[in-house]
Structure 1
Amino acid sequence: MAIVAVGTEIVQCARIAQMIQQHGEQFLERVYTPSEIDHCAQLPDATSHFARRWAAKQAVYKALHCHRKGVRWTEIEIQSRPTCGPAISLSGIAHERALEAGVDTIHVSLGGCRSQAIAYVILWQDDTP
Protein backbone atom coordinates (compact mmCIF):
# COMPACT_ATOMS: atom_id res chain seq x y z
CA MET A 1 0.00 0.00 0.00
CA ALA A 2 1.12 3.53 -0.72
CA ILE A 3 0.15 6.78 0.96
CA VAL A 4 -1.76 9.04 -1.42
CA ALA A 5 -2.22 11.97 0.97
CA VAL A 6 -2.55 12.96 4.60
CA GLY A 7 -4.68 15.58 6.28
CA THR A 8 -4.93 16.95 9.78
CA GLU A 9 -7.04 19.52 11.58
CA ILE A 10 -7.33 20.90 15.08
CA VAL A 11 -10.36 22.89 16.16
CA GLN A 12 -11.46 24.71 19.30
CA CYS A 13 -14.54 22.99 20.75
CA ALA A 14 -15.86 26.42 21.78
CA ARG A 15 -15.95 27.43 18.10
CA ILE A 16 -18.20 24.51 17.21
CA ALA A 17 -20.36 25.16 20.28
CA GLN A 18 -20.75 28.77 19.15
CA MET A 19 -21.78 27.69 15.63
CA ILE A 20 -24.36 25.29 17.05
CA GLN A 21 -25.65 27.95 19.45
CA GLN A 22 -25.87 30.66 16.76
CA HIS A 23 -27.21 28.59 13.87
CA GLY A 24 -28.74 25.52 15.54
CA GLU A 25 -30.26 22.88 13.27
CA GLN A 26 -29.29 24.81 10.13
CA PHE A 27 -25.59 24.41 10.96
CA LEU A 28 -25.95 20.79 12.07
CA GLU A 29 -27.85 19.74 8.94
CA ARG A 30 -25.44 21.57 6.62
CA VAL A 31 -22.34 19.95 8.14
CA TYR A 32 -23.40 16.59 9.59
CA THR A 33 -25.39 13.63 8.28
CA PRO A 34 -28.51 12.54 10.20
CA SER A 35 -26.55 9.54 11.51
CA GLU A 36 -23.75 11.78 12.81
CA ILE A 37 -26.25 14.13 14.48
CA ASP A 38 -28.07 11.23 16.16
CA HIS A 39 -24.81 9.68 17.36
CA CYS A 40 -23.30 12.86 18.81
CA ALA A 41 -26.54 14.12 20.36
CA GLN A 42 -26.83 10.94 22.45
CA LEU A 43 -23.38 11.31 24.03
CA PRO A 44 -22.33 13.29 27.08
CA ASP A 45 -20.47 16.43 25.96
CA ALA A 46 -21.99 16.24 22.48
CA THR A 47 -20.12 19.39 21.44
CA SER A 48 -16.72 17.71 21.68
CA HIS A 49 -17.98 14.84 19.51
CA PHE A 50 -19.34 17.27 16.92
CA ALA A 51 -15.97 19.07 17.02
CA ARG A 52 -14.04 15.82 16.43
CA ARG A 53 -16.20 15.05 13.42
CA TRP A 54 -15.72 18.60 12.13
CA ALA A 55 -11.95 18.16 12.45
CA ALA A 56 -12.10 14.82 10.61
CA LYS A 57 -14.18 16.29 7.78
CA GLN A 58 -11.71 19.17 7.46
CA ALA A 59 -8.77 16.74 7.42
CA VAL A 60 -10.37 14.68 4.62
CA TYR A 61 -11.28 17.89 2.78
CA LYS A 62 -7.62 18.97 2.89
CA ALA A 63 -6.23 15.57 1.93
CA LEU A 64 -8.52 15.33 -1.11
CA HIS A 65 -7.83 18.95 -2.10
CA CYS A 66 -11.55 19.71 -2.17
CA HIS A 67 -11.28 23.49 -1.96
CA ARG A 68 -13.61 24.98 -4.57
CA LYS A 69 -14.54 21.56 -5.94
CA GLY A 70 -18.19 21.57 -4.85
CA VAL A 71 -17.84 19.01 -2.07
CA ARG A 72 -20.56 19.30 0.58
CA TRP A 73 -19.75 18.56 4.22
CA THR A 74 -22.39 15.84 4.37
CA GLU A 75 -20.56 13.94 1.60
CA ILE A 76 -17.88 13.15 4.20
CA GLU A 77 -19.41 11.03 6.95
CA ILE A 78 -17.62 9.91 10.09
CA GLN A 79 -19.11 6.59 11.12
CA SER A 80 -18.82 5.11 14.59
CA ARG A 81 -17.76 1.48 14.80
CA PRO A 82 -17.85 0.30 18.42
CA THR A 83 -15.28 -2.47 18.02
CA CYS A 84 -12.67 -0.85 15.78
CA GLY A 85 -12.99 2.93 15.98
CA PRO A 86 -14.25 5.55 13.53
CA ALA A 87 -14.43 5.14 9.77
CA ILE A 88 -14.87 7.55 6.87
CA SER A 89 -17.58 7.11 4.26
CA LEU A 90 -17.60 9.30 1.15
CA SER A 91 -20.39 10.05 -1.30
CA GLY A 92 -21.03 12.40 -4.19
CA ILE A 93 -18.19 14.61 -5.38
CA ALA A 94 -16.02 13.66 -2.38
CA HIS A 95 -16.22 10.01 -3.48
CA GLU A 96 -15.37 11.01 -7.07
CA ARG A 97 -12.32 12.97 -5.86
CA ALA A 98 -11.12 9.92 -3.92
CA LEU A 99 -11.54 7.68 -6.96
CA GLU A 100 -9.64 10.16 -9.14
CA ALA A 101 -6.81 10.18 -6.61
CA GLY A 102 -6.71 6.37 -6.52
CA VAL A 103 -7.75 6.17 -2.87
CA ASP A 104 -8.75 2.68 -1.75
CA THR A 105 -8.74 3.14 2.04
CA ILE A 106 -9.02 6.02 4.47
CA HIS A 107 -7.65 5.67 7.98
CA VAL A 108 -8.73 8.19 10.60
CA SER A 109 -7.66 8.98 14.14
CA LEU A 110 -9.72 11.29 16.35
CA GLY A 111 -8.68 12.83 19.62
CA GLY A 112 -9.08 15.80 21.84
CA CYS A 113 -9.66 17.23 25.26
CA ARG A 114 -12.21 19.56 26.80
CA SER A 115 -11.09 22.53 24.73
CA GLN A 116 -9.78 21.06 21.46
CA ALA A 117 -10.52 18.33 18.96
CA ILE A 118 -8.03 16.89 16.48
CA ALA A 119 -8.21 14.52 13.55
CA TYR A 120 -5.61 12.91 11.35
CA VAL A 121 -6.39 11.02 8.14
CA ILE A 122 -4.24 8.94 5.83
CA LEU A 123 -5.46 8.16 2.31
CA TRP A 124 -4.09 4.85 0.99
CA GLN A 125 -3.84 3.26 -2.41
CA ASP A 126 -3.63 -0.52 -2.67
CA ASP A 127 -0.54 -1.60 -4.65
CA THR A 128 -1.80 -5.06 -5.55
CA PRO A 129 -2.80 -5.55 -9.20
Structure 2
Amino acid sequence: MDIVSAQRVRQMVADHGESFLLRMLTQQELADCRTDEGLNLLTVCGRIAAKEAAFKTLRVADRILPWLDIEVHRADGGWPLIELRGRAAQLAQDAGIEGITVSISHDVDYAVAVGAPVLSTGN
Protein backbone atom coordinates (compact mmCIF):
# COMPACT_ATOMS: atom_id res chain seq x y z
CA MET A 1 0.00 0.00 0.00
CA ASP A 2 1.15 3.53 -0.64
CA ILE A 3 -0.25 7.04 -0.29
CA VAL A 4 0.89 10.14 -2.19
CA SER A 5 0.11 13.76 -1.36
CA ALA A 6 -0.97 15.87 -4.32
CA GLN A 7 0.40 18.90 -2.48
CA ARG A 8 3.86 17.31 -2.43
CA VAL A 9 3.75 16.41 -6.14
CA ARG A 10 2.35 19.85 -6.99
CA GLN A 11 5.35 21.41 -5.21
CA MET A 12 7.79 19.12 -7.08
CA VAL A 13 6.27 20.19 -10.40
CA ALA A 14 6.38 23.87 -9.35
CA ASP A 15 10.04 23.55 -8.31
CA HIS A 16 11.31 21.40 -11.19
CA GLY A 17 8.71 21.49 -13.99
CA GLU A 18 6.58 18.72 -15.47
CA SER A 19 9.63 17.12 -17.08
CA PHE A 20 10.72 16.11 -13.55
CA LEU A 21 7.84 13.61 -13.56
CA LEU A 22 9.58 11.70 -16.38
CA ARG A 23 11.95 10.35 -13.72
CA MET A 24 9.00 8.41 -12.29
CA LEU A 25 6.51 8.08 -15.15
CA THR A 26 6.99 6.91 -18.72
CA GLN A 27 6.03 9.19 -21.59
CA GLN A 28 2.89 7.08 -22.11
CA GLU A 29 1.90 7.26 -18.43
CA LEU A 30 2.31 11.02 -18.43
CA ALA A 31 0.25 11.27 -21.62
CA ASP A 32 -2.47 9.12 -19.99
CA CYS A 33 -2.61 11.64 -17.12
CA ARG A 34 -3.49 14.53 -19.43
CA THR A 35 -6.99 15.82 -20.07
CA ASP A 36 -8.26 18.66 -22.23
CA GLU A 37 -7.64 20.94 -19.23
CA GLY A 38 -4.03 19.81 -18.76
CA LEU A 39 -2.24 17.50 -16.37
CA ASN A 40 -4.55 15.69 -13.92
CA LEU A 41 -2.40 15.80 -10.80
CA LEU A 42 -4.45 13.25 -8.84
CA THR A 43 -4.05 10.76 -11.69
CA VAL A 44 -0.29 11.37 -11.59
CA CYS A 45 -0.33 10.77 -7.83
CA GLY A 46 -2.30 7.56 -8.34
CA ARG A 47 0.30 6.28 -10.80
CA ILE A 48 3.14 7.11 -8.42
CA ALA A 49 1.33 5.41 -5.52
CA ALA A 50 0.65 2.35 -7.70
CA LYS A 51 4.32 2.03 -8.62
CA GLU A 52 5.35 2.29 -4.97
CA ALA A 53 2.73 -0.28 -3.93
CA ALA A 54 3.80 -2.62 -6.73
CA PHE A 55 7.45 -2.34 -5.72
CA LYS A 56 6.58 -3.07 -2.09
CA THR A 57 4.95 -6.36 -3.13
CA LEU A 58 8.34 -7.55 -4.43
CA ARG A 59 9.68 -7.53 -0.86
CA VAL A 60 13.25 -6.58 -1.78
CA ALA A 61 15.63 -4.87 0.59
CA ASP A 62 18.24 -2.26 -0.21
CA ARG A 63 17.06 -1.67 -3.78
CA ILE A 64 16.04 1.55 -5.46
CA LEU A 65 12.62 1.48 -7.05
CA PRO A 66 13.06 0.97 -10.80
CA TRP A 67 10.47 3.63 -11.62
CA LEU A 68 10.43 3.29 -15.38
CA ASP A 69 10.46 -0.54 -15.29
CA ILE A 70 7.03 -0.52 -13.63
CA GLU A 71 4.35 0.90 -15.92
CA VAL A 72 0.72 1.51 -15.01
CA HIS A 73 -1.77 1.11 -17.86
CA ARG A 74 -5.51 1.58 -17.94
CA ALA A 75 -7.49 -1.48 -19.02
CA ASP A 76 -10.41 -1.06 -21.44
CA GLY A 77 -12.73 -1.31 -18.43
CA GLY A 78 -10.87 1.51 -16.67
CA TRP A 79 -9.05 -0.42 -13.94
CA PRO A 80 -5.26 -0.14 -13.61
CA LEU A 81 -2.87 -2.80 -14.87
CA ILE A 82 0.79 -3.17 -13.91
CA GLU A 83 3.42 -4.08 -16.49
CA LEU A 84 6.85 -5.12 -15.20
CA ARG A 85 9.92 -4.81 -17.41
CA GLY A 86 13.69 -4.90 -16.99
CA ARG A 87 14.89 -4.91 -13.38
CA ALA A 88 11.35 -4.95 -11.99
CA ALA A 89 10.49 -8.06 -14.03
CA GLN A 90 13.69 -9.76 -12.85
CA LEU A 91 12.96 -8.92 -9.19
CA ALA A 92 9.45 -10.36 -9.60
CA GLN A 93 10.76 -13.52 -11.23
CA ASP A 94 13.34 -13.97 -8.45
CA ALA A 95 10.50 -13.66 -5.89
CA GLY A 96 8.27 -16.17 -7.71
CA ILE A 97 5.82 -13.45 -8.71
CA GLU A 98 4.16 -13.63 -12.14
CA GLY A 99 2.57 -10.21 -11.94
CA ILE A 100 1.05 -7.61 -9.67
CA THR A 101 -2.53 -6.45 -9.39
CA VAL A 102 -3.22 -2.96 -8.14
CA SER A 103 -6.14 -0.81 -7.07
CA ILE A 104 -5.93 2.99 -7.04
CA SER A 105 -8.17 5.57 -5.40
CA HIS A 106 -7.87 9.32 -5.00
CA ASP A 107 -9.83 12.09 -3.37
CA VAL A 108 -9.23 15.80 -2.76
CA ASP A 109 -5.47 15.87 -2.07
CA TYR A 110 -4.34 12.23 -1.72
CA ALA A 111 -4.02 9.17 -3.88
CA VAL A 112 -3.67 5.65 -2.49
CA ALA A 113 -2.84 2.35 -4.12
CA VAL A 114 -2.80 -1.25 -2.93
CA GLY A 115 -0.79 -3.89 -4.75
CA ALA A 116 -0.94 -7.68 -4.49
CA PRO A 117 1.35 -10.27 -6.04
CA VAL A 118 0.15 -12.87 -8.53
CA LEU A 119 2.26 -15.84 -7.47
CA SER A 120 3.83 -18.32 -9.85
CA THR A 121 2.12 -21.70 -9.81
CA GLY A 122 5.39 -23.58 -10.25
CA ASN A 123 4.24 -25.39 -13.41
State TM-score, norm by structure 2: 0.88
Looking at structure 1, the residues matched to 35 and 54 of structure 2 have their Cα atoms a distance apart, in angstroms, of 25
Within the alignment, does 1:27 sit opposite 2:24 as a pair?
A: no
Alpha carbons 1:61, 1:67 under 8 Å: kept: no
Looking at structure 2, the residues matched to 26 and 67 of structure 1 have their Cα atoms a distance apart, in angstroms, of 29
Query: Tell me, what secondary structure is at the counterpart of 1:104?
Result: strand
Identical residues among aligned pairs (%): 30
Looking at structure 1, the residues matched to 58 and 46 of structure 2 have their Cα atoms a distance apart, in angstroms, of 18
Equivalence for 2:69: 75
Equivalence for 1:10: 3
CA root-mean-square deviation: 1.9
Query: What is the deviation of 1:101?
Result: 0.7
Query: Tell me, what secondary structure is at the counterpart of 1:111?
Result: strand
Once structures 1 and 2 are overlaid, which stretch shifts more, 14-23 or 94-103? 14-23
Looking at structure 2, the residues matched to 14 and 67 of structure 1 have their Cα atoms a distance apart, in angstroms, of 28
More RCO (CA 8 Å, sep 6+): 1
Alpha carbons 2:92, 2:99 under 8 Å: kept: no
Looking at structure 2, the residues matched to 52 and 74 of structure 1 have their Cα atoms a distance apart, in angstroms, of 15
1:81-96 equivalences in 2 (<5 Å): 81-83=75-77, 85-96=79-90
Looking at structure 1, the residues matched to 17 and 61 of structure 2 have their Cα atoms a distance apart, in angstroms, of 25
Please list every run of 5 or more consecutive structure 1 residues that lacks an aligned counterpart in the other structure.
1-7
Compared with structure 1, are the counterparts of its residues 43 and 101 closer, same or farther at alpha carbon in structure 2 (3 Å cutoff)? farther
Within the alignment, does 1:64 sit opposite 2:67 as a pair?
A: no
Deviation beyond 3 Å, 4+ runs, structure 1:
65-68
| Paired residue type of 1:91 | R
Please list every run of 5 or more consecutive structure 2 residues that lacks an aligned counterpart in the other structure.
none
